[in-house]
């Protein structure tokens, strides 16, 4: 069935090296939003259509990464590593596809071989260390330590270490202030914050290492990352959400209808939840006692979604392992798909998430805060409301699905189209600056008291219950994903949205110089943050242009004026 969206991406320019992750693979075209000439527009449309046709499905990309992780090892190295000698030594076990170094509790290397046999050969040559005064758990994992006898010469070039930590807010503010437009600021923000190829590989590798432990009980199991590690909205430093997928165990090769059949004798639990809890508690215990590098293991089994939480020291990742959570995996696929449809989606989501974090609207601690997942759905909903819409509704994605896309999980129809080339988009040329401004206006005036956010219909619906914020769960449609949010937190979000919308309307916030934060960078300033939620809320509602905003603008005027005067030019002001 044809999508109700006509093709257009008039304002895209194809660039190399950017947004690599957004399209998943390096062979796919890299697209970035900007204003440009009609010649480039026509060229871009062709390339965009080609990229969409060539694009792999979410599942195919995940499968490729998972398979590569199974052929990889993680090695703790001495600080002055001779890269060439190191690679020569490992190459005895087979061809090396890729490798990279990073720092976390010392130097580490990820080495991906081209075949699994290399891992077996390598493992045969490795010793369990002899430890003095203690005893070692003789578990042979793919987490290794390189011993380099004697002192190493430092005359060889040092390997390049890939950064795995996020930039600080002050570094981001500085970097954004050097850009030339708010559109460029949001693109730059995405490039700075997004997960790198190496960081994604590390996430898959941690899942694969954990699978080796769980595989002792359930050899057919797979541990898959979900959430922001794979949905294309993850930023460096975000947690690794994992699912213990036991579905392979239920698959059988026995033909239906044959006269005789055999069944495994199994233990039974009181409910699926009870079975999940017992499996996770055993795996949690193994991770704690046998998992090298896994520390601070907590079994959080009474949560709505039972999980095992731990820190993986060699990568610095905070990990949450859940089981029986296929709907969450489907939600990740849905967000990934929305992120691929138009580059503005990711830029806006990264912008809104960063703004929300800078103002403590979101938090890493669970509580009554709005979550990143909720914020992302709010952006998707807003983009469905544009005229013409930038994103299709979930119902439209379902209508475009083919027979192989059919997916029902626990009675919920989770069907969405997997082939991106079937989705034709409507012509919408809004700039990121306009979208950001109108996002804040939209939610600064949204009737949260009576309406719910529904990306399935792409329309506001009457709120079925009295919670402060109601965002319908895309697949489990009777649930509200933001049930935890209280009125205070929602009011803070609304107040800050109004103030940010107002700020963006002021010409003083536009670029003055790269010495003072302007545009999106000014929206992140602590002077805006301070006082949010402290002042009387009713006062703030009546007075959106609060004094702290005036102070900010005054400070911008002073700083901008000084800089302009110093440079003896007024051209810096747009
Ligand atoms: P980060 O804050 O960067 O970790 O974003 P995230 O998207 O990974 O969020 P989080 O770690 O909180 O949750 C992981 C995934 O679980 C999300 O991407 C969703 O797919 C799913 N999820 C999170 N919260 C909810 C919820 O309230 N309801 C449902 N159904 N799924 C949720
Ligand atoms: Mg997460």
Q: Which ligand ends up closest to the CA of 362?
A: 1
**181 and 321 fall within a common domain:** no
What's the whole-number average pLDDT of the chain?
A: 83
C-alpha of residue 481 to centroid of ligand 1, in Å: 9
**413 and 475 fall within a common domain:** yes
**514 and 375 fall within a common domain:** yes
Q: Residue 510: its pLDDT value, please?
A: 74
Domain count along the chain = 3
Q: Report the nearest atom of ligand 1 relative to the CA of 481.
A: 27
**208 and 320 fall within a common domain:** yes
Q: Residue 553: its pLDDT value, please?
A: 60
Domain assignment of residue 259, yes or no:
no
Domain assignment of residue 316, yes or no:
yes
Q: Residue 550: its pLDDT value, please?
A: 59
Binning pLDDT at 50, 70 and 90, where does residue 54 land?
low
Q: Report the nearest atom of ligand 1 relative to the CA of 234.
A: 3
Domain with residue 309: its CATH number is: 3.30.460.10
Domain assignment of residue 264, yes or no:
no
- Token pair belonging to 406: 């059919």
Domain assignment of residue 405, yes or no:
yes
Strand ranges across the sheet with 96-103: 96-103, 107-113, 72-77, 143-145
Top-confidence residue, 293 or 23: 293
C-alpha of residue 264 to centroid of ligand 1, in Å: 35
- The domain containing residue 64 runs over which residues? 54-162
Domain assignment of residue 462, yes or no:
yes
**114 and 187 fall within a common domain:** no
List pLDDT tens digits, range 513-556.
Answer: 667 889 999 999 864 444 444 343 333 343 433 455 556 666 55
Top-confidence residue, 158 or 319: 319
For residue 192, pLDDT beyond 60: yes
If one residue of 226, 234, 241 were mutated to test the ligand 1 pocket, choosing by the most ligand atoms within 8 A of its CB, it would be 241
Domain assignment of residue 468, yes or no:
yes
Point out the least confidently predicted range of 15-24, 263-272, 276-285, 422-431. 15-24
Point out the least confidently predicted range of 157-166, 271-280, 295-304, 350-359. 157-166
> Which residues make Cβ contacts (< 8 Å) with residue 219, sequence separation at least 6?
none
**346 and 473 fall within a common domain:** yes
**207 and 307 fall within a common domain:** yes
**515 and 387 fall within a common domain:** yes
**65 and 173 fall within a common domain:** no
Point out the least confidently predicted range of 25-34, 105-114, 260-269, 505-514. 25-34
Phi first, then psi: what are they for 253, rounded to 5°? -95, -5
C-alpha of residue 373 to centroid of ligand 1, in Å: 5
List pLDDT tens digits, range 315-357.
Answer: 999 999 999 889 999 999 999 999 999 999 999 999 999 999 9
Specify the pairing of strand 222-226 against strand 240-245: antiparallel
**299 and 245 fall within a common domain:** yes
**148 and 187 fall within a common domain:** no
**221 and 181 fall within a common domain:** no
Q: How far apart are CA 400 and CA 414, in angstroms?
A: 13
Top-confidence residue, 416 or 78: 416
Domain assignment of residue 479, yes or no:
yes
For residue 563, pLDDT beyond 70: no
Q: Residue 127: its pLDDT value, please?
A: 86
Domain with residue 78: its CATH number is: 3.30.70.330
Q: For the chain, give percent helix, strand, coil, nearest 5.
A: 40, 15, 45
Strand residues in 140-203 grouped as ranges (E): 143-145
SS (H, E, C) 202-265: HHHHHHHHHHHHHCCCCCCCEEEEEHHHCCCCCECCCCEEEEEECHHHHCCCCCCCCCCCCCCC
Domain assignment of residue 354, yes or no:
yes
Residue ranges lining ligand 1, Cβ < 6 Å: 226-228, 231, 234, 238-239, 241, 328, 331-332, 371-373, 473, 476, 481
If one residue of 203, 227, 479 were mutated to test the ligand 1 pocket, choosing by the most ligand atoms within 8 A of its CB, it would be 227
């Amino acid at each position: 069935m044809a999508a109700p969206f006509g093709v257009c991406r008039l304002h895209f320019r194809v660039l190399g090296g950017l947004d690599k992750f957004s399209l998943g693979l390096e062979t796919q075209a890299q697209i970035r939003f900007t204003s440009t000439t009609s010649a480039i527009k026509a060229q871009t449309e062709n390339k965009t259509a080609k990229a969409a046709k060539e694009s792999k499905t979410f599942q195919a990309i995940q499968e490729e990464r998972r398979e590569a992780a199974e052929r990889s090892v993680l090695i703790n190295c001495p600080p002055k590593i001779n890269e060439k000698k190191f690679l020569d030594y490992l190459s005895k076990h087979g061809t090396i596809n890729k490798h990279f170094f990073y720092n976390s509790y010392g130097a580490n290397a990820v080495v991906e071989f081209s075949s699994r046999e290399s891992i077996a050969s390598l493992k045969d040559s490795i010793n369990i260390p002899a430890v003095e005064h203690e005893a070692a758990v003789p578990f042979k994992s793919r987490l290794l330590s390189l011993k380099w006898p004697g002192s190493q010469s430092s005359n060889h070039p040092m390997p390049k270490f890939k950064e795995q930590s996020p930039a600080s807010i002050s570094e981001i503010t500085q970097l954004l202030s050097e850009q030339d437009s708010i559109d460029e600021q949001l693109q730059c923000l995405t490039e700075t914050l997004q997960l790198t190829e190496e960081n994604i590989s590390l996430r898959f590798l941690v899942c694969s290492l954990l699978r080796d432990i769980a595989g002792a009980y359930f050899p057919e199991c797979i541990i898959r990352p979900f959430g922001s590690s794979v949905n294309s909205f993850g930023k460096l430093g975000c947690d690794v959400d994992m699912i213990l997928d036991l579905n392979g165990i239920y698959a059988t090769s026995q033909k239906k209808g044959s006269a005789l059949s055999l069944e495994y004798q199994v233990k039974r639990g009181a409910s699926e939840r009870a079975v999940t809890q017992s499996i996770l508690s055993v795996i949690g215990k193994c991770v704690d006692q046998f998992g090298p590098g896994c520390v601070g293991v907590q079994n959080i089994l009474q949560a709505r979604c039972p999980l095992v939480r731990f820190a993986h020291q060699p990568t610095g990742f905070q990990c949450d392992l859940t089981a029986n959570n296929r709907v969450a995996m489907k939600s990740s696929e849905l967000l990934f798909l929305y992120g691929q449809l138009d580059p503005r989606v990711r830029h806006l989501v990264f912008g809104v998430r960063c703004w929300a974090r800078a103002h403590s609207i979101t938090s890493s601690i669970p509580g009554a805060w709005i979550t990143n997942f909720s914020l992302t759905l709010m952006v998707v909903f807003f983009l469905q409301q544009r005229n013409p819409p930038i994103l299709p509704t979930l119902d439209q994605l379902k209508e475009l699905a083919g027979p192989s896309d059919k997916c029902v999980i626990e009675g919920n129809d989770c069907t969405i189209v997997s082939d991106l080339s079937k989705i034709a988009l409507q012509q919408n040329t809004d700039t990121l600056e306009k979208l950001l401004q109108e996002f804040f206006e939209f939610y600064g005036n949204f009737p949260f008291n009576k309406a719910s956010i529904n990306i399935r219909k792409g329309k506001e619906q009457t709120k079925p219950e009295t919670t402060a914020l109601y965002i319908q769960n895309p697949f489990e449609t009777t649930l509200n994903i933001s049930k935890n949010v209280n009125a205070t937190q929602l009011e803070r979000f609304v107040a800050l949205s109004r103030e940010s919308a107002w700020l963006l309307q002021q010409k003083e916030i536009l670029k003055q110089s790269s010495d003072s934060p302007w545009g999106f960078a000014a929206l992140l300033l602590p002077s805006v943050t301070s006082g949010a939620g402290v002042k009387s809320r009713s006062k703030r509602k009546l007075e959106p242009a609060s004094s702290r905003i005036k102070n900010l603008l005054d400070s911008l005027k002073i700083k901008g004026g000084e800089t302009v005067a110093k440079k003896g030019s007024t051209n810096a002001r747009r």
